[in-house]
Amino acid sequence: MSTEENKTVARRLVEEVINTGKLEDAAQYFIPNYVDHATPPGIPPGLDGFKAFFAAFRAAFPDLHYTIEDNIAEGDRVVQRATASGTMKGDFLGMPATGKNATWAEIHIVRVKDGKIVEHWASVDQLGMLQQLGLVPVPAQGS
């Protein structure tokens, strides 16, 4: 597959599955036992874990939306710099709903083989998200 085709796979996953909540369509983007190096504790591995995580994430943030800022590919790797946003209307991973909106940055790397995602890594500004949601205090500013 070309780098452009790999970029399309990664972009379509975000736009057509994650942003819409159509998790039943996720199988067309992954091998069943893909390896996610960013799965939170308690989430099963592979495609089942992807679906479980995003079902819980979208239940907590029903208006969850990712905007892909950059979609860069080299060889079999695609890197996406994205901005995520949502309003926390439900509990998530033991954190109570706050009703607040947050916007945070994420970077994702996927490895694509034969048109399917086989590996995923991520770096997420979880601290910034949790501070905006009021779940972690913001440090006091010096005067």
Please state the separation of Cα 136 from the chain's center in Å. 21
Query: pTM score, two decimals?
Result: 0.93
The answer as to whether 47 is a domain residue is: yes
- The pLDDT mean for the chain works out to 96
Domain count for the chain:
1
Query: Which tokens go with 117?
Result: 């995602």
Q: Are strands 101-113 and 77-87 parallel, antiparallel or unpaired?
A: antiparallel
Q: How much of the chain is helix, strand and coil, in % rounded to 5? A: 30, 35, 30
The answer as to whether 139 is a domain residue is: no
- Distance set, CA 129 to CA 37, 71, 91, 133 (Å): 20, 22, 14, 6
The answer as to whether 68 is a domain residue is: yes
Report whether pLDDT(54) > 90. yes
Model confidence band, residue 143 (pLDDT cutoffs 50, 70, 90): low
| CATH code where residue 71 lies | 3.10.450.50
Average pLDDT over residues 30-52: 94
Model confidence band, residue 106 (pLDDT cutoffs 50, 70, 90): very high
The answer as to whether 141 is a domain residue is: no
Alpha-carbon span 87 to 99, nearest angstrom? 6
Alpha-carbon span 60 to 91, nearest angstrom? 6
The answer as to whether 138 is a domain residue is: no
Report whether pLDDT(20) > 80. yes
The answer as to whether 11 is a domain residue is: yes
Query: Which tokens go with 5?
Result: 């085709």
Q: What is the pLDDT of residue 32?
A: 87
